[in-house]
Structure 1
Amino acid sequence: MHARPVTHNYHVTGQLKPADMAEVAKAGYEAVICMRPDGEGFFQPKFADVETAAKSQGLKVFYLPVGGTSSPITQAPKLKAILKEVQGPVLAYCASGGRCASLYQLAQQAG
């Protein structure tokens, strides 16, 4: 896992696997946000499997896919609401971390 900070409490990374959740919890994150739609790429784990592993580590977990039928403009207010709900550090992931960083910027402008 290679997390990149966008802010002090919001970091982004590429695809995470269920086996990564212990490392995510150990790193001090409170929540994980998946922005990658299920079935987007070959060998991509299903969100349900990541969710189960995250919850077993005491992490909050959110599914906020960006792509397919979910556009960034509709997901930005949802991200803003999630970030208000979660008090500690958040790790958001997609294929590379790029759309997670972009959606964060949109969320800051969302009303």
Structure 2
Amino acid sequence: MDLRQLTPELSVSPQIRPEELAALAAEGFRVLINNRPDAEVGPDEDSLAMKAAAEAAGMEYREIPFVPGQVTPDMVDAQAEALALPGRKIAYCRSGNRSTVLWALTRAGHQPTAELLETAAQAGYDLSGVRPLIDSIAASGR
């Protein structure tokens, strides 16, 4: 697994396999956030398989599929709700980038944009393309 820590409570990752969830739970992760749409994976990694594996590992499961370029306010709100759950969280998609974008959008207006972009860059994700969206959310006071 390629876990990349954004905050003490949140790591992001490329696709996670169901058989990896017990080890993640043993490492202290309590919430699994799936940002990958089922259309991008086969039945072994779809939302039903991941939910069953997360629950078997004793983890809370949240599904917030993010099709590239199609972020919505409802997705940002759902991600914020998932991130507010107690315990360590791991969010994943194909590469971890979309999960990082959603994290940054949930933090818009709560942390400086430059700080969000730097945290993402330190984890290996370039969010400069979504800077205008982060700034717009921050300016709206959302």
Q: Distance in 1 between matches of 2:69 and 2:14?
A: 21
Count of residue correspondences: 110
- Give the conservation status (yes or no) of the 8 Å contact 2:32–2:89: yes
Structure label with greater radius of gyration: 2
User: 1:3 and 1:68, CA in 2 relative to 1: closer, same or farther beyond 3 A?
Assistant: closer
Q: Residue deviations 1:4-35, cap 9 Å, x none?
A: 00111010000011111111111110100000
Q: Distance in 2 between matches of 1:83 and 1:42?
A: 26
Q: Structure 1 residue 74: deviation in Å? A: 3.2
Q: Which residue of 1 aligns with 2:32?
A: 32
* Larger relative contact order, structure 1 or 2 (CA cutoff 8 Å, min sep 6): 1
Q: Which residue of 1 aligns with 2:60?
A: 60
Which segment drifts farther, 41-50 or 72-81? 41-50
Q: Which residue of 2 aligns with 1:102?
A: 101
Q: Distance in 2 between matches of 1:95 and 1:68?
A: 10
Contiguous gaps of at least 5 residues in structure 2: 109-136
Identity of aligned residues (%): 25
More helix by share: 2
- Give the conservation status (yes or no) of the 8 Å contact 1:31–1:89: yes
SS of aligned partner of 1:39: helix
State the TM-score, normalized to the length of structure 1: 0.88
Q: Distance in 2 between matches of 1:45 and 1:101?
A: 20
Q: Which residue of 2 aligns with 1:83?
A: 83
Q: Distance in 1 between matches of 2:17 and 2:4?
A: 17
Q: Structure 1 residue 40: deviation in Å? A: 1.4
RMSD of the TM alignment (CA)? 2.0
Q: Residue deviations 1:31-71, cap 9 Å, x none?
A: 00000000214676111001101101100000000117952
Contiguous gaps of at least 5 residues in structure 1: none
Report the AA paired with residue 52 of structure 1.
Answer: A
| Moved beyond 6 Å, runs of 4+ | none
